[in-house]
Amino acid sequence: MKRIRTILLLLLTIPFLTSCWSKHELNELVFVTGIFIDNGKDPNTVEVTISTPLPNRVMTVNSPGSSEGSSYSLLSKTGSNIPEALQTIQKDLSRKLLLSETKIIVLGREYAEDGINELLEWIQRNANIRISSSILVAPNTAKEVSQLTPIYEQFPTDVLSAFVTKEHLVNTNIKECLLANANHSAFVIPYLSYGEVPSVEEDSKKIPWSGIGGSALFTDNKLTRIVNVKESRAIAWAKKKVTAPLYTVNIEGQGHATVIFNKTSNEKSFKITENGPEFTITLNGSASLIYLNVKDKEVKSLHRDIIRAVEKEIHTDLKEGLRKSQEVKADILHLGSLIVWNDPENWKKLQKNWSDVYAETTINIKTNFNIIDTGKET
């Protein structure tokens, strides 16, 4: 009897040992790695572009991004909404679209300014979209960005994904946007730059390229303000979303220096005053000195001057970024949450008009930096 039970158990495991990836065979699927969304040419329409790898070319392309034998495909269609546009794309394909592999969603600037409620509503109801997918805003159209040349990567979406995963500036995923929408709060999304660079193969030829251009501030799910790269980096620090920020500063009357922060953190606090809430943000960091150009001075004697110059620059960047956020009533650091967690009674009084309160509140900025490594000295 024991032997029979053993055989039955072994037979039950056989279905789980098959090589089938899912109920769909791989050669019946189109893996969508990027979705690019713009307003359509006609009123109340949306144009959706998808980026997909071409399995029959991925392993044979010697020069990724070249015009001949490209390893990816771009398909665009227009509809009255996002699912309708995707369905129109699906009609012309021999394989089924698989959206669960989407890594990047890029929004055209005009689309973002009109509001992304439709996008968030669609994602919330579509279990196939990963909420860990990163989201970015294009300076013009998202379709334009989809055509960038992946010089060092195989697919355009790999390039865009690297911008956010390296955490040089603020990064945002779909989950964060959904949470902000549920809490009626503001959020910030990476803002791209777009242009042309010389071709690797032909210097006289120009190819489309994209990079990080700053951050886009969203209020009520609409793009309301752009902050530049320096301000965006300081905001990312205040959101604990920056890795190894680098700063080059002038040491007044002495030269200039470059430091890279190996360790960063921040602290936030508040107090309720007769004029309303007052916040304090403290940025902490330990840096290495990686370049110094001064005359006739020892490195150690310049530590305080270097730190003071770095503190001044970062303080200015964060202050300006937050000033812009207050102009559009966008609490991008979610400072209101501090009151929710620590002083719920006062929050009940402030909640209804929080956006207006945030616009007028005092935000103090402090820094606490030190240099722990000066590199080799000769």
- Cα dist from 132 to 135, 242, 286, whole Å: 9, 18, 30
pLDDT at position 237 is 95
pLDDT at 266 > cutoff 50: yes
* Distance (Å, whole) CA 29 – CA 94: 9
pLDDT at 208 > cutoff 70: yes
pLDDT at position 85 is 96
Residues 6+ apart with CB under 8 A from 191: 136, 137, 139, 212, 213, 214, 215, 216, 226, 232
* Distance (Å, whole) CA 36 – CA 50: 6
pLDDT at position 57 is 61
pLDDT at position 91 is 93
By mean pLDDT, which of 76-90, 223-237, 244-258 is the weakest?
244-258
- Beta strand pairing status for 34-39 and 104-107? parallel
What mean pLDDT comes out for the span 220-243? 95
pLDDT at position 104 is 94
pLDDT at position 159 is 87
Q: Which of 90, 125, 80, 122 has its CA nearest to residue 105?
A: 122
Q: What angle do CA 207, 212, 217 make, to 5 degrees?
A: 135
By mean pLDDT, which of 6-10, 127-131, 187-191, 251-255 is the weakest?
6-10
Tell me how far apart the terminal alpha carbons of the chain are, to the nearest angstrom. Answer: 82
152 token code pair? 């060092």
Q: Beta strands of the chain (E only): which ranges?
A: 29-31, 34-39, 46-53, 72-79, 96-98, 104-107, 134-137, 187-198, 206-219, 222-227, 246-251, 255-273, 276-294, 362-373
pLDDT at 8 > cutoff 50: no
pLDDT at 4 > cutoff 70: no
Q: Note the helical H segments in 36-141.
A: 55-58, 82-91, 109-114, 117-125
What mean pLDDT comes out for the span 225-232? 96
pLDDT at 215 > cutoff 50: yes
pLDDT at position 198 is 76
* Distance (Å, whole) CA 97 – CA 319: 45
pLDDT band for 209, please (50, 70, 90 cuts): confident
Task: Give residue-wise pLDDT tens across range 128-184.
Answer: 899 999 999 999 999 999 998 887 787 888 888 888 877 667 889 999 999 999 999
pLDDT at 119 > cutoff 70: yes
Task: Give residue-wise pLDDT tens across range 93-104.
Answer: 888 998 999 999
Using DSSP, state whether 188 is helix, strand or coil: strand
Q: Which of 149, 147, 85 has its CA nearest to residue 111?
A: 85
By mean pLDDT, which of 87-91, 102-106, 201-205 is the weakest?
201-205
Residues 6+ apart with CB under 8 A from 259: 246, 247, 249, 287, 288, 289, 290, 306, 310, 371
| Cβ proximity of 208 and 196 under 8 Å | yes
Structure pTM?
0.86
